[in-house]
């Protein structure tokens, strides 16, 4: 090898990164002691940002484009190197490529159940999982705060931290919403948007990461609770349990009559079976009548409203609580309210159920006498 070939091998003419992976966030240009030649070509592709590091200090940052490295387009590095009058010799600097595309299919989930006080079931535990997407918005801040001097930095290196951030925010929002567990499936979109709104500004400010989406795929109950709910749903489908029991017993006795034992004839067995069914049905009908007479009717269902306070959903509140809120001024005629069955939020004075509450509020006192 000639001397020129050896010198040429030490000079980098083209600096670029072709990403063949789907999970690399940061890649350090591998130079292995090679020097960068004055006038070398820097190629930064779309969804990339190139960052120059001089002796551990952040220098110039390059968005997508092709650059000829001179003192004119390396102002920070020129200052750090004290190239006041330009230069022609090679120089050494670390070059990091930061992937700024959107990273999809990131997963999050609750490692431990979340404890809630549900208005229907009481204290209960739930689990939740979903996905999120993010991208690097500030390459310099991301390198300083997270990637550091790692030659390569992958999504798995930050996945656990982002997962904890999402779960923490989600837990706070679930606890504050006070929405019944059985109604949460109708609020997945609202939960997702609210979690993103809560988590995005902090991650952008601290680490230069921009969260694009937070998705909730499922909110589940413990297996034993789901089993009880399934049984409850089955009872609702069956309807009148007394009639269902009678039907089952009639089938069982009819089968017994069709298979007599002890020498009884087929006709005698069938007659005995029918007689037994009639006696048992009469007894059960009498018991049902007694139970219906002794059982009081169910209490009327209390109407509850959600109230918008400073743009935040609060409640639900029953009529006694709403009456107190009217008296204290927390609920006015121009306050937005909503209950199940309403198409959307409406002013309190437009809801017939609440009209009587405002009628009990006295008008403002007259001005003082002169």
pLDDT along the chain (370 residues), means of 10: 46 83 91 73 94 86 91 75 64 89 92 85 87 94 89 92 89 83 83 88 92 90 77 62 62 64 48 54 65 62 79 81 80 83 81 74 63
Name the residue ranges covered by the structural domains of the chain. 3-99, 103-224, 305-359
Q: Whole-angstrom Cα distance, residue 24 to residue 39?
A: 28
**H or E stretch covering 104:** strand 103-109
Quick one: fold of 103-224? Tetrahydropterin Synthase; Chain A (3.30.479)
How is domain 305-359 classified at the architecture level of CATH?
Answer: 2-Layer Sandwich (3.30)
At residue 85, the pLDDT reads 54
> How many Cα atoms are found within 13 Å in the side-chain-facing hemisphere of 174?
27
At residue 142, the pLDDT reads 94
Cross-strand pairs, 116: 124
Domains 103-224 and 305-359 share a fold: no
Rounded to two decimals, the pTM is 0.57
Report the SS3 class of residue 121: coil
At residue 240, the pLDDT reads 57
At residue 48, the pLDDT reads 95
At residue 308, the pLDDT reads 83
């Amino acid at each position: 090898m000639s001397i020129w070939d050896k010198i040429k091998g030490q000079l980098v003419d083209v600096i670029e990164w072709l990403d063949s992976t789907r999970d690399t966030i940061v890649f350090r240009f591998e130079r292995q002691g090679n020097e960068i030649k004055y006038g070398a070509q820097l190629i930064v592709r779309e969804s990339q940002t190139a960052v120059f590091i001089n002796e551990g200090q952040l220098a110039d940052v390059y968005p997508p484009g092709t650059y000829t490295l001179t003192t004119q387009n390396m102002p920070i590095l020129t200052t750090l190197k004290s190239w006041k009058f330009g230069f022609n010799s090679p120089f050494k600097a670390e070059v990091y490529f930061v992937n700024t595309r959107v990273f999809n299919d990131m997963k999050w989930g609750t490692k431990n159940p979340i404890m809630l006080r549900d208005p229907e079931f009481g204290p209960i535990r739930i689990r939740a999982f979903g996905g999120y997407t993010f991208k690097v918005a500030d390459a310099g801040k991301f390198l300083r705060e997270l990637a550091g001097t790692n030659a390569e930095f992958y999504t798995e290196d930050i996945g656990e931290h982002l997962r904890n951030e999402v779960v923490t925010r989600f837990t706070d929002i679930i606890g504050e919403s006070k929405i019944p567990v059985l109604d949460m499936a109708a609020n997945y979109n609202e939960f997702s948007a609210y979690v993103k709104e809560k988590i995005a500004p902090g991650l952008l400010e601290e680490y230069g990461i921009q969260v694009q989406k937070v998705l909730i795929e499922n909110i589940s109950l413990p297996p034993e609770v789901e089993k009880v709910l399934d049984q409850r749903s089955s009872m609702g489908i069956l309807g009148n349990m007394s009639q269902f029991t009678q039907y089952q017993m009639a089938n069982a006795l009819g089968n017994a009559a069709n298979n007599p034992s002890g020498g009884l004839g087929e006709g005698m067995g069938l007659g005995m079976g029918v007689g037994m069914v009639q006696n048992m049905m009469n007894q059960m009908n009498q018991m049902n009548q007694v139970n219906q007479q002794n059982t009081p009717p169910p209490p009327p269902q209390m109407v509850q409203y959600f109230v918008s306070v400073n743009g935040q959903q609060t409640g639900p509140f029953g009529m006694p609580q709403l009456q107190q809120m009217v008296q204290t001024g927390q609920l006015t005629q121009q306050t937005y309210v909503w209950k199940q069955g309403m198409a959307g939020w409406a002013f309190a004075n437009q809801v017939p159920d609440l009209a009587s509450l405002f009628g009990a509020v006295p008008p403002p006192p007259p001005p003082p006498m002169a």
